[in-house]
C-alpha cells in the first residue's frame, strides 16, 4: 500500500532508448519535411493538445513508443484482459452496442411521475432522478434558505409522501433508477427503499443506482452539507448497507464528468477521480470487506471534450489506470475488480450558446470519440440546444439519433479498439497514464483525496485551469466557432429557461407543512433522536434514517438532526482556488 | 451624511465609508480620523497571525462566535495580499466567517495589502481606530500568511496570537525565528491532525528557550500554548479565556494604555517618515540622480546633496 | 508600487441561492484582480440579506451577482431593494449567468444596472467596469 504507484510499473523508468527510427526520422526531417516547412511555415507557432497543452509532434513513429518504454503486452494487451486498455469486454461492440440513455427530472413528485411515464412509454427501461437544490443541499421546501429554488433544478423531495407519488409508475417496465442526491445520501436512500417497499417492488428485480458522490461535490460542484470526513462516512454507510442488503444494486459512481466542466484536464480527471475512489475504497475496506468484493461496485461517468485524441486516450488510460491501481495498490486478484465500469458522454461544455445547430456537429464528433475510446457500458448524449432551453422534442430525437448514426453508419464499432497501435494514440495514452500515476502519488503523499479536499489542493488546481483555459479562448489561442471564430455579429440569442409556475413552490410548501401537522410527532421526535445517536456513536446511519423516513420525518429534519452532530461545512469548499 | 458623527453612534454605513477613505488615502479620511480620535483607546486589539494554511480565518470565525457568546461586539479586519503586479486582490477571508454576516454586532472588513510589506495593510491601524470609535469591544486583526519578518501586527495589537499547525516543518522554523519572540499566546490549530505531538513539543521547546532568555521573559506573563480544532469549535473557549487573562494582566500593570500610547506615537512617526520620503522623492533633483547613474557622483554624497536641497527648498 | 496610492475599484462577488456553479465567478474574480480591482468574495449559498450586509460592511463600489438557477427574478430585485433601504443604492449592481432576455426589463426596473449573459468575454466586463469607474472618479474629483 505504501509503495509509490507510479514506480510499480517497471517500464516507467523515463529512460529513452535509441532506435533505428531516430536516424530515419532525422533524415526525413532534414531531407523532406525541413525544406518544405522552410518554404511553407507552419500555421501555428506551437501545436498543443487542448486541455493538457502537451506539445504535439508533427509525426509519431515507433521511435516515440520505444522512448516511452511501450510494450504491447504490458501496455495494451487483449480486449477483456488486463490491463483492459483495449476494453473491459472481450468483443468490443460486436456482440451488442453500448446502452443508449437519457436524463430527466423536475417539478414535484407528481409531475416527475408523469414525465417518467412518458419516457417509459417511449421504450426506456431506465431513468435518472435528479432533485432540486433545496433537496440536494439538505433543506425542506419551506426553509427560508431555499426560497425560489423549489422544484427548479429537479424534483422537490420533502418526505416519503413525495416519493410515494413519484413512484406511481409501472415497475414492471422500470428496471433501473439512478438517483442523484449526494450530501443527504442516507436519507435519500432510506426514502427510496421505504417507497419501494410501499409499492411492493421486489428489490432483487430492480436496480437502484445511487451516485453517492459527495467528495466531488466538495471538489467542484458544491452541494454539500457536513464537513468532508462526515460526508465520507455517510457515503461509506450507504455503500456498506447496499453491499450487505441489496448486492445487485449500485452504491457509488465517481462522476469524473463533473471534474471536466470544472476544467480538470484529462490527467487531473483520472488522478483526482481515482484518488477519490481510493478514499471511498479505503473507508469501505475498513468496514471489513475485501477488495475483490468492493471494487466491482465502483462505477465511473466520464465525458469527452472536443480534442478528439485527448478524449479517446483519456478513456483508454482510465481503464488501464484503474486496473493497475486495483492490482498493484490493493492486490485485487479477480478480473471483475480490475475492469472499470464506465458510462461515457460528450461534454456539454463544448457546446455553444451561439449558432446552436453547430452543436450537432460537435456532439457527433464527441460521440464518435466516446465510441472509439470504448464507450463504456452506456453512453448518454446531451442535447444541442441545452444552453437555450429545456430539451425540446426535436433535440431529444436528434440526440438519440446521433448515437444510432455513430453506431450503425460510421463503422467505428465494427472492430475492437480500432485505434490501438496508432503511434500517436498509444504515445498519448501512455503519457497520460504516467502523468496520472505521478499526480496520484502526489495526492497519496499528502494523505489522500480527503486531505486534498480539506487543504483545497484539488480546488486550487482546478481554479488555475479554469482561468488559464478561459484565457486561451479570450486571447485566441484556442479557436471556438461562434465564440471567437466565425462569429455572427448580429446574432440574436434567445435563452429561455425552464419556468415553473410559482404556485408549484407554494403548493409544495403547503404540502410539507400540512404533513407536519398531521403525523405522529412523538414518533418523529424519537426517530430523529435515533438519527442523532447513530451520528454520534458511529454506527451505520441507514437503520435510523429508515426509521425516521417511515415515521414521515422530513428530508430537511433528518438532515438538520445530522447537522446537530456533524456541524455544517463552510460554504466555500470548491472555492479553494480563490 | 456626517460620517464622523454617524460612525461614533455606530452606523455601519458611515464606519465602512471612513475606512474606505483611509484605505484610499482620501483626505476626508484624515479629517474624520481627527474628529473621532478622542473617542478611541477602548477596544482590545487582538492580532491573529501565522503561516499560510494555519487556518487563521476559520479560527477567527470561531473566536467571533465565542466572543459573541460572551456578549461582546466584535470588529474584524481581515488582510489578504494584493498582487504586486496589478495591485488587484481577491479578498476571500470573510467566506469562512459567513455565518456572522447578519449579526448586527459583528463588523467584518477585508483589506488588501496594496503594496505594504509586513503582513498588514497600510490602513490597518486606521481601520482599528474606526472600529474602536464605533464602540466595538474588540478588534480581531487577521494578517496575511506571514513568514518570520512580517510581524507588524505585534506593534499594532495589545495581544498577539500566533497560530501554528501540525506538519508545516519549515514554517515552524520561521515562527521560531520571528514570531516566537513576539507572541502573547500560542495556538496549535488543526490539532486533530497527524504530527500534532511533534509540533507541540517544538513549540514547547521554543517557549522554554524564550523563558530562559532574560530579555524576553516577563514576570507578569508567560505565554500559554493551547490546542484548537477551529473547524470543530474545539479549544476556542480556552483561547478566549487566555486572551481575557492577557488583557486583565495588561490592564493591571498599566501596560494596556501604554501599548496603545506607544502605537499612536509610532504611527505619528511612521506617517511623518512616509510623508518626508514622498516629499524627498518628489523634489529630488533629476540632475543629481542622473549623475549617480553615470557614476559621476557616489550615492552617499548624492544623498547629502538631496537632503540639503530638500531642506533649503522647504525653507524658501 | 504604482497602484499603492491609487483608488482601486472594490467589487463584491457573490452567488445568490443554492446554485453552486463556480467556474464563471472564479474566472471573473481572477480577471478582475488582473485588472487591478479588489474583489471581495462572500462565498456561496448567500441570501440577499447576507449580500447586502457584506456589501455595506465592505463599502464596495460594485456588487456582482452570478446566478445559474432560476431564482433571479426574485432574489435580485430583493437585493436591490435591501441595498436601497440601507442607504447603499448608489452601488452598481451587476448580474451574470443564465438570464433570459425577457427578464431584463424586469430586473432593470428593479434596480439591476447591467446584466452579462453566460459566456461574456471577461475583457468586456473589465472594460465596462473600468469605464464606469473612470466616470465615478471624475465625478468625485
Give the DSSP letter string of A423-451: HHHHHHHHHHHHHHHHHHHHHHHTT-HHH
Report the pLDDT value the prediction gives residue C125, as an integer from 0 to 100. 94
Report the pLDDT value the prediction gives residue C53, as an integer from 0 to 100. 96
pLDDT at A19 over 70: no
- CB < 8 Å to A447, chain B: 194
- CB < 8 Å to B21, chain C: none
Q: Which of A87-91, A150-154, A481-485 has the highest mean pLDDT?
A: A87-91
Cell of A266: 484529462
State the average pLDDT over residues A374-379. Answer: 87
pLDDT at A298 over 50: yes
Report the pLDDT value the prediction gives residue A2, as an integer from 0 to 100. 41
State the average pLDDT over residues B273-297. Answer: 92
Would you identify the CATH topology of the domain C11-61+76-128? Rossmann fold (3.40.50)
Second-level CATH architecture of A107-249+488-578:
Alpha-Beta Barrel (3.20)
Q: Given strand A378-380, what is the order of strands in its sheet? A: A99-101, A378-380, A341-346, A298-304, A252-255
* Minimal Cβ distance to A467: which of C30, C99, C121: C30
Cis status of the peptide bond prior to A83, with omega within 30 of 0: yes
**Is B92's CB within 8 Å of A578's CB?**
yes
- CB < 8 Å to A571, chain B: 95, 98
Distance between start and end Cα atoms, chain C: 23
Q: Could you tell me which chain C residue has the CA closest to the CA of B94?
A: C42
Residue B205 φ then ψ, to 5°: -60, -45
Alpha-carbon gap: C64 to the closest alpha carbon of chain B (Å): 14
Cell of A150: 423549489
Torsion region of C69: left, alpha or beta (phi above 0 gives left; psi -120 to 50 gives alpha)? beta
CB contact B92 to A (< 8 Å): yes
**Is A227's CB within 8 Å of B92's CB?**
no
CB contact B95 to A (< 8 Å): yes
Number of C-beta neighbours around residue A472 at 10 A: 17
- Residue of higher predicted confidence among A570 and B297: B297
Distance CA A500, CA A507 (A): 12
Number of C-beta neighbours around residue A292 at 10 A: 17
Quick: pLDDT tens for B187-218. Answer: 999 998 888 998 888 888 888 888 887 666 67
Report the pLDDT value the prediction gives residue C89, as an integer from 0 to 100. 93
pLDDT at A487 over 60: yes
Chain C positions contacting chain B at CB under 8 Å are 1-8, 10, 29-30, 32-43, 46, 49-50, 53-54, 56-59, 86-88
- Exposure of A154 by Cβ count < 10 A (0-12 exposed, 13-18 middle, 19+ buried)? buried
Report the pLDDT value the prediction gives residue B152, as an integer from 0 to 100. 83
Report the pLDDT value the prediction gives residue B170, as an integer from 0 to 100. 55
* Minimal Cβ distance to B90: which of C4, C41, C88: C41
**Is B96's CB within 8 Å of A570's CB?**
yes
**Is C39's CB within 8 Å of B88's CB?**
yes
Contact A386, A492 (CB under 8 A): no
| Burial letters C51-66, b for 16+ CB under 10 A, else e | bbbbbbbbbbbbbbbb
Report the pLDDT value the prediction gives residue C42, as an integer from 0 to 100. 86
Quick: pLDDT tens for A522-576. Answer: 999 999 999 999 999 999 999 999 999 999 999 999 999 999 999 888 755 555 5
Strand runs (DSSP E) across A76-192, as ranges?
A: 99-101, 126-130, 176-180
Distance CA C48, CA C14 (A): 10
- Residue of higher predicted confidence among A297 and A397: A297
Neighbours of C (≥3 Cβ pairs closer than 8 A)?
Answer: A, B
pLDDT at A386 over 60: yes
Quick: pLDDT tens for A308-330. Answer: 999 999 999 999 999 999 999 99
Cell of B119: 503582513
State the average pLDDT over residues A411-415. Answer: 95
**What is this model's ipTM?**
0.93
Cell 476494453 belongs to: A87
**Is C100's CB within 8 Å of A146's CB?**
no
Quick: pLDDT tens for A224-281. Answer: 999 999 999 999 999 999 999 999 999 999 999 999 999 999 999 999 999 999 999 9
- Select from A144, A567, A570, A576 the residue whose CB has the most chain B CBs within 10 Å, as the one to mutate to test that interface: A570
CB contact A464 to B (< 8 Å): no
Residue B314's pLDDT band (boundaries 50, 70, 90)?
Answer: low
- CB < 8 Å to C88, chain B: 13
Whether this model's pTM surpasses 0.90: no
Q: What is the mean pLDDT of chain A?
A: 89
**Is C27's CB within 8 Å of A387's CB?**
no
**Is B86's CB within 8 Å of C34's CB?**
yes
CB contacts under 8 A, B 38-77 vs A, are 53, 58
Report the pLDDT value the prediction gives residue C1, as an integer from 0 to 100. 33
**Is B94's CB within 8 Å of C38's CB?**
no
- Residue of higher predicted confidence among B35 and B177: B35
Residue A344's pLDDT band (boundaries 50, 70, 90)?
Answer: very high
**Is C36's CB within 8 Å of B20's CB?**
no
Quick: pLDDT tens for A456-468. Answer: 899 889 988 888 8
pLDDT at A105 over 60: no
Residue A389's pLDDT band (boundaries 50, 70, 90)?
Answer: low
Distance CA B230, CA A316 (A): 43
**Is C40's CB within 8 Å of B94's CB?**
yes
Report the pLDDT value the prediction gives residue A10, as an integer from 0 to 100. 39
Q: Could you tell me which chain A residue has the CA closest to the CA of C118?
A: A353
* Minimal Cβ distance to C59: which of B16, B95, B112: B16
* Minimal Cβ distance to B13: which of C33, C36, C88: C88
Alpha-carbon gap: C15 to the closest alpha carbon of chain A (Å): 11
**Is B87's CB within 8 Å of C46's CB?**
no
Question: Crossing angle for the helix pair A358-372 and A308-324, nearest 10 degrees?
Answer: 30
Quick: pLDDT tens for A46-63. Answer: 999 999 999 999 999 998
**Is B90's CB within 8 Å of A227's CB?**
no
pLDDT at A496 over 70: no
Torsion region of B98: left, alpha or beta (phi above 0 gives left; psi -120 to 50 gives alpha)? alpha
Residues of chain C with pLDDT under 50: 1-5
Residue A364's pLDDT band (boundaries 50, 70, 90)?
Answer: very high
Amino acid at each position: 500500500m505504501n509503495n509509490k504507484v507510479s514506480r510499480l510499473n517497471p517500464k516507467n523508468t523515463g529512460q529513452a532508448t535509441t532506435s533505428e527510427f531516430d536516424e530515419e526520422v532525422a533524415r526525413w526531417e532534414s531531407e523532406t519535411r525541413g525544406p518544405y516547412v522552410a518554404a511553407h511555415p507552419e500555421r501555428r507557432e506551437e501545436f498543443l493538445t487542448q486541455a493538457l497543452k502537451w506539445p504535439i509532434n508533427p509525426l509519431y513513429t515507433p521511435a516515440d513508443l520505444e522512448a516511452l518504454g511501450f510494450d504491447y503486452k504490458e501496455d495494451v494487451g487483449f480486449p477483456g484482459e488486463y490491463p483492459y486498455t483495449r476494453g473491459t469486454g472481450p468483443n468490443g461492440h460486436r456482440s451488442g452496442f453500448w446502452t443508449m440513455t437519457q436524463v430527466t427530472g423536475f417539478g414535484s413528485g407528481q409531475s416527475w411521475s408523469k414525465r417518467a411515464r412518458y419516457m417509459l412509454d417511449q421504450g426506456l427501461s431506465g431513468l435518472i432522478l435528479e432533485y432540486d437544490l433545496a433537496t440536494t443541499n439538505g433543506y425542506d421546501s419551506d426553509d427560508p434558505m431555499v426560497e425560489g429554488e423549489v422544484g427548479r433544478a429537479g424534483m422537490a423531495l420533502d418526505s416519503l409522501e413525495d416519493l410515494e407519488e413519484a413512484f406511481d409508475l409501472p415497475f414492471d417496465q422500470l428496471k433501473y433508477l439512478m438517483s442523484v442526491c449526494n450530501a443527504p445520501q442516507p436519507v435519500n436512500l432510506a426514502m427510496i427503499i421505504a417507497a419501494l417497499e410501499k409499492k411492493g417492488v421486489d428489490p432483487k428485480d430492480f436496480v437502484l443506482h445511487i451516485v453517492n458522490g459527495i467528495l466531488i461535490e466538495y471538489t467542484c460542484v458544491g452541494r454539500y452539507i457536513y464537513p468532508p470526513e462526515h460526508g465520507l462516512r455517510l457515503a461509506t454507510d450507504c455503500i456498506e448497507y447496499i453491499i450487505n442488503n441489496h448486492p445487485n444494486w449500485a452504491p457509488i459512481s465517481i462522476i469524473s464528468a463533473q471534474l471536466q466542466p470544472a476544467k480538470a484536464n484529462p490527467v487531473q480527471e483520472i488522478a483526482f477521480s481515482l484518488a477519490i475512489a481510493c478514499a471511498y475504497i479505503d473507508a469501505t475496506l475498513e468496514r471489513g470487506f475485501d477488495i475483490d468484493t468492493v471494487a466491482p461496485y465502483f462505477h465511473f461517468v466520464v465525458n469527452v471534450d472536443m480534442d478528439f485524441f485527448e478524449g479517446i486516450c483519456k478513456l483508454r488510460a482510465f481503464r488501464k489506470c484503474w486496473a493497475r491501481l486495483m492490482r498493484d495498490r490493493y492486490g485485487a486478484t479477480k478480473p471483475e475488480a480490475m475492469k472499470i465500469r464506465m458510462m461515457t458522454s460528450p461534454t456539454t461544455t463544448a457546446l455553444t450558446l451561439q449558432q446552436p445547430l453547430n452543436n450537432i456537429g460537435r456532439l457527433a464528433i464527441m460521440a464518435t470519440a466516446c465510441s472509439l475510446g470504448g464507450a463504456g457500458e452506456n453512453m448518454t448524449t446531451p442535447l444541442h440546444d441545452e444552453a437555450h432551453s429545456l430539451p425540446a422534442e426535436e433535440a431529444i430525437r436528434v440526440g438519440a439519433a446521433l448515437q444510432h448514426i455513430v453506431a450503425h453508419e460510421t463503422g467505428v464499432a465494427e472492430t475492437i479498439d480500432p485505434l490501438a497501435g496508432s503511434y500517436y494514440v498509444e504515445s498519448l495514452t501512455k503519457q497520460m497514464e504516467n502523468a496520472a500515476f505521478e499526480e496520484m502519488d502526489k495526492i497519496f503523499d499528502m494523505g489522500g483525496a480527503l486531505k486534498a479536499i480539506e487543504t483545497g489542493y484539488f480546488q486550487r488546481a482546478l481554479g488555475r485551469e479554469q482561468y488559464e483555459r478561459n484565457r486561451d479562448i479570450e486571447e485566441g489561442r484556442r479557436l471556438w466557432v461562434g465564440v471567437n471564430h466565425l462569429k455572427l455579429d448580429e446574432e440574436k440569442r434567445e435563452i429561455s429557461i425552464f419556468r415553473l409556475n410559482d404556485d408549484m413552490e407554494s403548493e409544495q410548501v403547503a404540502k410539507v407543512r400540512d404533513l407536519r401537522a398531521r403525523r405522529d410527532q412523538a414518533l418523529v421526535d424519537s426517530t430523529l433522536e435515533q438519527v442523532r445517536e447513530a451520528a454520534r456513536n458511529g454506527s451505520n446511519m441507514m437503520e435510523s434514517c429508515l426509521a425516521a423516513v417511515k415515521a414521515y420525518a422530513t428530508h430537511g429534519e433528518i438532515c438538520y438532526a445530522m447537522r446537530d452532530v456533524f456541524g455544517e461545512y463552510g460554504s466555500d469548499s470548491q472555492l479553494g482556488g480563490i | 451624511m456626517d460620517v464622523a458623527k454617524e460612525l461614533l453612534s455606530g452606523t455601519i454605513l458611515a464606519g465602512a465609508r471612513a475606512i474606505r477613505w483611509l484605505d484610499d488615502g482620501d483626505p476626508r479620511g484624515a479629517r474624520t480620523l481627527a474628529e473621532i480620535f478622542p473617542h478611541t483607546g477602548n477596544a482590545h486589539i487582538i492580532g491573529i497571525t501565522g503561516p499560510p494554511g494555519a487556518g487563521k480565518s476559520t479560527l477567527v470565525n470561531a473566536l467571533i462566535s465565542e466572543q459573541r457568546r460572551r456578549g461582546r461586539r466584535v470588529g474584524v479586519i481581515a488582510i489578504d495580499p494584493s498582487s504586486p503586479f496589478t495591485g488587484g486582490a481577491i479578498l476571500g477571508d470573510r467566506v469562512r466567517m459567513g455565518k456572522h454576516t447578519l449579526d448586527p454586532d459583528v463588523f467584518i472588513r477585508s483589506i488588501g495589502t496594496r503594496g505594504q510589506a509586513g503582513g498588514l495593510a497600510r490602513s490597518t491601524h486606521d481601520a482599528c481606530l474606526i472600529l474602536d470609535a464605533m464602540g466595538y469591544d474588540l478588534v480581531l486583526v487577521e494578517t496575511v500568511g506571514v513568514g518570520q519578518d512580517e510581524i507588524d501586527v505585534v506593534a499594532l495589537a495589545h495581544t498577539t496570537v500566533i497560530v501554528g499547525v501540525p506538519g508545516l516543518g519549515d514554517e515552524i522554523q520561521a515562527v521560531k525565528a520571528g514570531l516566537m519572540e513576539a507572541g502573547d499566546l500560542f495556538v496549535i490549530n488543526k490539532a486533530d491532525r497527524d504530527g500534532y505531538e511533534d509540533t507541540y513539543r517544538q513549540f514547547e521547546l521554543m517557549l522554554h528557550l524564550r523563558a530562559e532568555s532574560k530579555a524576553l521573559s516577563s514576570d507578569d506573563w508567560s505565554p500559554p500554548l493551547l490546542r484548537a480544532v477551529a473547524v470543530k469549535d474545539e479549544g476556542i473557549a480556552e483561547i478566549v479565556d487566555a486572551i481575557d487573562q492577557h488583557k486583565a494582566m495588561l490592564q493591571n500593570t498599566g501596560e494596556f494604555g501604554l501599548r496603545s500610547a506607544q502605537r499612536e506615537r509610532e504611527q505619528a512617526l511612521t506617517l511623518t517618515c512616509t510623508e518626508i520620503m514622498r516629499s524627498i522623492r518628489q523634489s529630488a533633483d533629476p540632475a543629481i540622480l542622473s549623475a549617480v547613474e553615470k557614476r559621476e557622483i557616489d550615492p552617499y554624497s548624492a544623498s547629502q546633496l538631496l537632503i540639503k536641497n530638500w531642506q533649503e527648498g522647504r525653507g524658501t | 508600487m504604482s497602484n499603492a496610492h491609487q483608488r482601486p475599484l472594490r467589487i463584491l462577488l457573490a452567488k445568490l441561492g443554492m446554485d453552486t456553479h463556480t467556474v464563471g465567478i472564479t474566472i471573473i474574480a481572477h480577471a478582475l484582480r488582473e485588472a487591478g480591482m479588489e474583489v471581495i468574495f462572500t462565498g456561496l449559498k448567500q441570501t440577499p440579506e447576507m449580500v447586502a450586509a457584506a456589501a455595506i460592511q465592505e463599502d464596495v463600489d460594485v456588487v456582482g451577482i452570478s446566478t445559474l438557477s432560476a431564482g433571479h427574478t426574485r432574489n435580485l430585485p430583493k437585493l436591490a431593494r435591501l441595498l436601497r433601504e440601507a442607504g447603499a443604492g448608489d452601488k452598481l449592481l451587476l448580474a451574470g449567468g443564465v438570464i433570459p432576455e425577457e427578464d431584463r426589463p424586469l430586473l432593470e426596473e428593479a434596480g439591476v444596472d447591467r446584466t452579462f449573459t453566460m459566456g461574456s468575454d471577461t475583457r468586456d466586463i473589465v472594460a465596462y467596469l473600468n469605464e464606469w469607474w473612470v466616470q465615478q472618479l471624475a465625478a468625485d474629483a
